[in-house]
Amino acid sequence: MEPGVSWGRNEGWSGRAKELVELGRSPDGAEWSAERKERIFQQVLARVERGRQRRRLLQAYAAGASTVLLVGLLFKLMGIGAAAPARLPELTTETAIQRLAAE
């Protein structure tokens, strides 16, 4: 790699992968064995695949979270799942007394 060339965080992995592949194909890598070149290529492919899997996981999480929020909003608009009104303590006591008297 040449001085002054950096692996900036703003670059995508596809750009970095292309650079690594080109580096592997460059004449500077002529002393590398075919096995080493293949290993570098496989590592690049594995890294790209991990990035894809991570993006898919984040997309699935975002889709699930938004679905839960939309269903909650829908239930709230329809009045389903609202908190049950609290019973008055007097009515509860009267009901208990009536049940005891009936027995």
Residue 1 located in a structural domain: no
Residue 7 located in a structural domain: no
pLDDT at 22: 76
Please provide the DSSP assignment of 28-65 as one string: GGGGS-HHHHHHHHHHHHHHHHHHHHHHHHHHHHHHHH
Residue 4 located in a structural domain: no
Residue 30 located in a structural domain: yes
Full domain range(s) for residue 95: 13-102
Instruction: Tell if the pTM clears 0.85, that is, is over it.
Output: no
Q: pLDDT digits over 63-89, tens only?
A: 999 999 999 999 888 887 666 666 656
Q: pLDDT digits over 25-50, tens only?
A: 766 656 778 888 899 899 999 999 99
Quote the number of domains for the chain.
Answer: 1
Across the range 8-18, mean pLDDT stands at 65
Residue 6 located in a structural domain: no
